[in-house]
Amino acid sequence: MTEQILHVTGMTCGHCAASVSAALLAVAGVSRAEVSYPDATARVEAAAGTPVTALIDAVRAQGYGAEVSGGAGCGTAPRTESGLKVAIIGTGSAAMACALRALEAGAAVTVIEASTTGGTCVNVGCVPSKILIRAAHVAHLQARHPFAGLARHAPALDRKALVAQQQARVEELRHAKYESILETHPGITLLSGFARFENADTLVVKQADGAEKRLTPDRILIATGRSPQIPDVPGLAGTPFWTSSEALLAEETPSHLIVYGGSVVALELAQAYLRLGSRVTLVARGALLSKQDPAIGEGLKAVLIEEGMRVLTDTPANAVRFDGRRFELETGAGVVSGDRLLVATGRKPNTAGLELDRAGVATDPSGAIRVDDHLRTSVPHIYAAGDCTNAPQFVYVAAAAGTRAAINMTGGDAALDLSIVPAVVFTDPQVATVGLTEAQANELGMETDSRTLTLDNVPRALANFDTRGFIKLVADKRSGRLLGAQVLAAEGGEIIQTAALAIRNRMTVADLAGQLFPYLTMVEGLKLCAQTFTKDVKQLSCCAG
C-alpha cells in the first residue's frame, strides 16, 4: 500500500469533503481516503500501482479540482495545463463558474461582456423577480390572510420605493458575486464588447469605440444566455409593450395588465401584479405550463381564477392595437383591452450575432447550441454552457455546466448529469417538479403506478388554513421505485429536493413512506403521499408511521 496526498480545490464545506472522500473510496484499489476541507487536502491510501490519474479524475468528476501535493506517488499525474488561454463569452452564472475553475487550474482567462456584468439571473431574472413576488405575497396576506381575529386591509403601495429596494439588492449581489470577483482575481481579464467568430480559432471583439480586438485562445466557452422571444403578432412591433425586464422595473402599477403567455415568467409576474392591485387578464396560447402534468396547469388555473384573475387558455392572439393610451389584444375569445401589455411567450438563445457558422458550431432550429454531457460543441476546443445551449434553462444547471466545462477544458473529465433536475415555478402555491411524469414514463415503455394526495390530508396545510394544491408521486409499478414527483403547494420548492434525493438514491415509495419526517411540515406530505400506495391516510392518526 502507498499513500498519495492530493491538493483539492473548490470545496466550500465539510459536505464537499465527504463527497470527495466517497468518490475516492469508489476507485479500485483505494482502502482509505481522509479529506480535509480546511486544509484542502486528501490523503489517500491505495494499492501499489493504482494510477494517480484515476484519483484525480474521481475528484474532478465531482466538480472539484485536484493535483498531486506530495507524498509517495502511486502513478503519474496528468500534464498541468500551464499557459492555457481560455476565452469566455458572457459574464453570467455559467461564465463566472467556468472562469473561476479554469483560473484554479492555472489558465489565463479572458471574459467578454457586451452589456451588464452578471447575466440574466442577478440583473433581470431570478433575483429581482423573487423580490417582487415576495413583496406581492406580503401584500396579499395583508388583504386576504385566513386567520380570524386579525384585521385585513388593502396594502398601501409605493411601487417606486419597492423598485428602489429591489434594485439596491440587485446591485449589491451583482457587485458581491460578479464585479468584485473580477476585481479581486487578476488572472481574469474583463474585455467589454460584442464578440463574434472570425473562424474556429479566432474571436473578434468590437469595443464601444468601434475598435476591434482579435483573440486566439486555446479554449472558448460560449455562455451568452437568452433574451425574451417576441411572437410575430400583427400590430405588436413598435408598441410600448413590456417584456419581463420592463415589468420588473416599472414604477407604476397598471390599472389593467394584459399578460400574453402561459409559462413560468408569465404566471409568476401575472400573479405578482394581481396581488399588487392590478386587474390582470392572462391570455395563453395553450394550457398553462403545458409541458407539465396537466393537473398542475388546471390546478394553478383554478387558484388564479379564485384570486380574481381572468384566465383565457387555448387562446392565441390574432392582433395587437395601441392607440397611444390603451392596448387592445384581439383573440378568439374577443378583444381584451388594458393599459399595459406584458409579452412573456418564451426566451430565445443569444447566438444570432456570434457568427457560429464561421466556426462550425452546430445549433438546433431555435439557435440553441448543441452540447454533449461534457459541454463540448461540434468543435472540439469550443464549449458552451447555460441558457444559450439545449440544456434546461435553470441558473443552477448553468453554474454546474460552467464548472464542468472548465474542468474538461483544462485536462479533466467531468460529465453534467441531467437525469434528475428539480424545478420550481414561484407562483403561490408553488409548482415544483422532478423526474418523470406518468406520460413521460409511459413513453419510455415503463408501466407506472401513481397516487395524488390533496393537501387537506397534510396537517401543516390544515394548520396554515391553506389546502390549495396536491402532491403526486409516480412509481414504477413492478418495483415501486420512485420515478417522479409533481407538487402544487405552498413551499413546494422546499419540498421537491427531498423527492429529488429519493429518486437519486433509487428509493421506493415504501422506503419513502417508512422515513421519519418532522411534524408539522409541508414536506411530510411526501411521506403521506407515499403511504397512500398501500394505506388510506384518512384513517391514520397524526404523524402516524
Give the three-class secondary structure for 108.
Answer: strand
d(CA 525, CA 529): 6
Give the three-class secondary structure for 449.
Answer: strand
d(CA 116, CA 147): 44
Determine what percent of the chain is predicted with pLDDT higher than 70.
96
Q: How far is CA 393 from CA 13, 77, 492, in A?
A: 27, 36, 19
| Reported pTM | 0.85
pLDDT band at 60 (very low <50, low <70, confident <90, very high): confident
Among 28-37, 199-208, 379-388, 481-490, whose mean pLDDT is lowest?
28-37
Q: How far is CA 464 from CA 58, 59, 303, 461, 517, in A?
A: 46, 45, 16, 5, 18
pLDDT band at 72 (very low <50, low <70, confident <90, very high): very low
Give the three-class secondary structure for 44.
Answer: strand
The set of catalytic residues is: 11, 13, 16, 64, 121, 126, 542-543
pLDDT higher than threshold 90 for residue 377? yes
The H or E element that residue 312 is part of is: strand 310-312
pLDDT in tens, 122-179: 999 999 999 999 999 999 999 999 999 999 999 999 999 999 999 999 999 999 999 9
Question: What are the grid coordinates assigned to 229, written together?
Answer: 422571444
Q: What is the pLDDT of residue 54?
A: 87
Place of cell 388583504: 143
Average pLDDT over residues 101-124: 97
User: Helices marked H in 330-416 — which ranges?
Assistant: 356-359, 395-409
- Angle CA(162)–CA(92)–CA(501) in degrees, nearest 5? 90
Q: Single out the residue of 93, 106, 117 nearest to residue 221, CA to CA.
A: 93
DSSP letter, residue 389: B
Instruction: Give 545's contacts (C-beta < 8 A, 6+ positions apart).
Output: 514, 516
d(CA 376, CA 409): 9
The string of DSSP letters for 224-272 reads: --EEEPPP--TT-TTS--B-HHHHHH-SS--SEEEEE--SHHHHHHHHH
Question: What are the grid coordinates assigned to 271, written together?
Answer: 400573479
For the chain, which domains are there?
2-70 (3.30.70.100), 85-228+349-409 (3.50.50.60), 244-345 (3.50.50.60), 423-539 (3.30.390.30)
d(CA 534, CA 462): 23
What type of residue is 335?
V
pLDDT higher than threshold 60 for residue 82? no
Beta-strand pair 347-349/226-228:
antiparallel
Q: What is the pLDDT of residue 13?
A: 67
Task: With both helix axes pointing from N to C terminus, report the angle between 395-409 and 93-104 in degrees, rounded to the nearest 10.
Answer: 30
pLDDT band at 12 (very low <50, low <70, confident <90, very high): low
Q: Mean pLDDT in the chain?
A: 94
Among 56-65, 235-244, 337-346, whose mean pLDDT is lowest?
56-65
pLDDT in tens, 245-282: 999 999 999 999 999 999 999 999 999 999 999 999 99
pLDDT higher than threshold 50 for residue 407? yes
Neighbour-count burial of 235, counting CB atoms closer than 10 A to its CB (0-12 exposed, 13-18 middle, 19+ buried):
middle
Q: Single out the residue of 105, 400, 381 nearest to residue 222, CA to CA.
A: 381
pLDDT higher than threshold 90 for residue 79? no
Q: What is the pLDDT of residue 75?
A: 34
Beta-strand pair 219-222/382-384:
parallel
Q: What is the pLDDT of residue 7?
A: 86
